[in-house]
Structure 1
Amino acid sequence: MKFVGIVGSNADQSYNRMLLQFIQRHFKVKFELELLEIKDVPMFNQDEDQSNSFAIQYLYNKITRADGVIIATPEHNHTITPALKSTLEWLSFNLHPFENKPVMIIGASYYDQGTSRAQVHLRKILDAPGVNAYTLPGNEFLLGKAKEAFDDKGNIINEGTVKFLESCLDNFIKYVGVVSKLKKPKPIAPEDLDCTKPIATTITGVDPDDPDWLEKASKLVNAVEGDTYVKLDNGLLTVNQLNMFLNAMPFELTYADDNNQFLYYNNSHQEPDTMLGKRVLAQVGNRLSTVHGTLPPARMKNVEWVVGTLRNGNQEYVRTIVPGTPAEIINTHNYQAMYYPDGSYAGINEIIFNFKPWLDWYLEATGQRLVGGSGTAAAPAHVDATSGASDAGSAPATSTPTDANSGASAH
C-alpha cells in the first residue's frame, strides 16, 4: 500500500514531522509512506482562487493517488494549526481529493494529553460536506511530552508506545482494505491515441509516424549523444553510459508520454523476434494508434483502458501475464504511471520480463515450492492459462491490455 503523510505544521521544527518520519522508517515493510509539507500553501481566500497553483495541485495529485492519508496534527489553542485548516479549505473548495479517501489522524504535543482536542476538531472537518473523508474511527494516537518522547536519532523511546502505534497502523491498513472496495473508479474518457494535442515536450516539425523520426527529431532539437554528460537527480552519466545502463537491465523497458507518443524502448540490440514485446526502431516517435494499428478494435479498447486507468489514478499500475507462451516463459507486463513534479500524469513506463527464472530462483533459494493442484514453476497452478488472469487480481480477460498473438502491448 502507498500512503501519504501530511505534516500539519508549517514550522521548520515539528514533532509531528518527526512522528511521520519515524513511521516512514520503522514501518516501511508494512507500507510506503511519502511525506507532504504544507509550508508553501497560501492562506485560503475564495476571492483569489489558487486551486491551479503548484502547491495545491501537488497535494491534490499526491492525495488522489494514495491508498490512504495519515495526518499528523499539532494542537494550537485547542485546535489545529491555521496552516492545516487553510490547506483543508483549498482541498474542499474546487478540488476534493479527500472524498471517500481513508484517513488516519495522529498527533504529537508538548503536553500530557497529546493533541486530543485538535484531533476531535480535525475529525469534524474531515466529515464536513466537500471533504467527505472516511476517517478511521477510534484508534487515537496521542503522543504527549513530545520533547522527551524521541531519542537523538528521531526514534520513539518507549517500546509500549511503539507497539500501540503499530496496532493503530495495522488497524488503518485493514480499514483501507475495506474502504477500497467502496471506491468507484473515475470513468475513462476516450484516449487520444493519435497524439493530436501536443504537450510541452512534443517535438513538432516531423511526423510522429515517420520511420526516421528519431534521427530527424534529434537534429531538430540538437539532442546530445555520445560522451556528453547528463546530470540526473542522483547521478552524472554520459549518454553512452545511460544507454549501457538501460540496455543491461534484465527487463524490456518502454516509455510513452502523456500525449500517447511512443518515445523509447531499450534492448535495441536485440532482434524483434527474440523480444517478449516486439519493438523496432521505426516505431520510436509513433502515435500509439500506429504502434497498435494492427490490433482489432476490441484490443485497441484495452490499450485505451490501460492508459485511461493510469491517467485517472484509478490504479497505480496494471499487471498482466500473457497467455499462450511456452512453459519455460511467464511473459509478465507491468504498466506503471509516471508523474510530473506537481504529481500530474506524465505517461507510462512498461516493464516486460520472463517471470519464470525469478520464480525458479526464489523457490530454490528459499526451499519452497508452489502448492495448489498440479502447479509447477513452469506452469503455476494459480494462473489461468486461457485468460491470463490470476487469483492475485490481474486485470480480467476483457480488460487485458496485451495482444498475445502479436506481442503488442499498451505501448
Structure 2
Amino acid sequence: MKLLALSGSLRRLSHNTTAVKALKILAPDHVEVTIGSISELPLFNPDREGENIPALATLKLALEAADGLVISSPEYAHGISGPLKNALDWLVSGSEFPEIPIMLINTSPRARHAQDALREVVTTMSGRVIEKASVSIPLLGTELDAQGVVEHPEMSTVIRHGLNEFYLAIAPKL
C-alpha cells in the first residue's frame, strides 16, 4: 500500500511535520509512506489551473499514485492552516482526490475546530475520512522530534493503531 502524507504546517519545527515523519518511520514494511510538500504551491487562482505549475504537478502525481492520504493539520484561529487549505483548493477540481481514503492526525487534542473544518472540506471534495484510523497525539508542548515520537510508547502505539486501521480499511479495495 502507498500512502501520501501531508503536513499542513510550513514551520521548520512543526509538530505536524514531526507526526508525519514519525508515521513514515512507524509504517510496516507493506506500507510505503511518501511525505509530500505544499510549501511551493502558489496561492490558488482558478485562472492558473491550466498552467504548468511544477509543485502542483508533483503533488497531483503523488496523490494519484497513493492508495490513501494522511493529513496532519495545525489549528489557526479555529481553522485549517492557510497553506493546507490552499493545497486542497488546488486539488478540488482534479480527478485525483475523489474517493481517496483519508487518515487525519491531530497533534493538539484540545484543538478540534480545525479537525472538524478539515473533515468538512475533504468530505465536500469527496474524500473518505476513515474515522477509526484518525488519531490524536499530544505533541503540543513537547520538544519531541520524529524519533522521540517513535520511542514514546503511547504516541507510537496510537499512530501504529491508526495505520493498522487505515490499512484494514483500504486493503480490501486494492
Of structures 1 and 2, the one with the larger relative CO (CA 8 A, separation 6+) is: 2
Q: CA deviation at 1:89?
A: 0.6
Give the total of aligned pairs: 174
TM-score (norm 2): 0.89
1:167 aligns with 2:161: yes
Corresponding position of 1:58:
58
Matched position secondary structure for 2:39: coil
Given that 1:51 and 1:90 are in contact with CA atoms closer than 8 Å, whether structure 2 keeps it comes out as: no
Residues 138 and 25 of structure 1: is their aligned pair in 2 closer, same or farther, counting only changes over 3 Å? Answer: closer
Q: Residues 279-315 of structure 1: CA distance to partner in whole angstroms, max 9, x if unpaired?
A: xxxxxxxxxxxxxxxxxxxxxxxxxxxxxxxxxxxxx
* Paired residue type of 1:52: N
Given that 1:116 and 1:142 are in contact with CA atoms closer than 8 Å, whether structure 2 keeps it comes out as: no
Q: Residues 183-240 of structure 1: CA distance to partner in whole angstroms, max 9, x if unpaired?
A: xxxxxxxxxxxxxxxxxxxxxxxxxxxxxxxxxxxxxxxxxxxxxxxxxxxxxxxxxx
Report the structure, 1 or 2, having the larger helix content.
2
Corresponding position of 1:123:
119
Given that 1:149 and 1:158 are in contact with CA atoms closer than 8 Å, whether structure 2 keeps it comes out as: no
* Paired residue type of 2:95: H
| Partners of 1:79 and 1:152 in 2: CA distance | 25
| Partners of 2:58 and 2:51 in 1: CA distance | 10
Corresponding position of 1:26:
26
Matched position secondary structure for 1:4: strand
* Paired residue type of 1:42: P
| Structure ID, larger Rg | 1
Corresponding position of 1:11:
11
Q: CA deviation at 1:177?
A: 1.8
* Paired residue type of 2:167: I
| CA-atom RMSD in angstroms | 2.1
Q: Residues 141-185 of structure 1: CA distance to partner in whole angstroms, max 9, x if unpaired?
A: 12224342625844345312221221111110011124x26xxxx
Corresponding position of 2:46:
46
| Partners of 1:57 and 1:153 in 2: CA distance | 31
Residues 15 and 51 of structure 1: is their aligned pair in 2 closer, same or farther, counting only changes over 3 Å? Answer: farther
Residues 48 and 152 of structure 1: is their aligned pair in 2 closer, same or farther, counting only changes over 3 Å? Answer: closer
Given that 1:50 and 1:56 are in contact with CA atoms closer than 8 Å, whether structure 2 keeps it comes out as: no
1:35 aligns with 2:35: yes
Residues 150 and 91 of structure 1: is their aligned pair in 2 closer, same or farther, counting only changes over 3 Å? Answer: same
Matched position secondary structure for 1:106: strand
Residues 90 and 81 of structure 1: is their aligned pair in 2 closer, same or farther, counting only changes over 3 Å? Answer: same
Given that 1:51 and 1:57 are in contact with CA atoms closer than 8 Å, whether structure 2 keeps it comes out as: no
| Partners of 2:153 and 2:147 in 1: CA distance | 15
Corresponding position of 1:99:
98
Q: Residues 37-62 of structure 1: CA distance to partner in whole angstroms, max 9, x if unpaired?
A: 11001111223336531111111111
Corresponding position of 2:80:
80
| Partners of 1:90 and 1:167 in 2: CA distance | 31
* Paired residue type of 1:123: R
Structure 2 unaligned spans of 5+: none
Q: Residues 16-49 of structure 1: CA distance to partner in whole angstroms, max 9, x if unpaired?
A: 1111111111224241101001100111122333
| Partners of 2:144 and 2:134 in 1: CA distance | 19
Matched position secondary structure for 1:99: coil
Corresponding position of 1:249:
none
Which consecutive aligned stretches of 4+ in structure 1 deviate over 6 angstroms post-superposition?
A: none
Structure 1 unaligned spans of 5+: 182-411
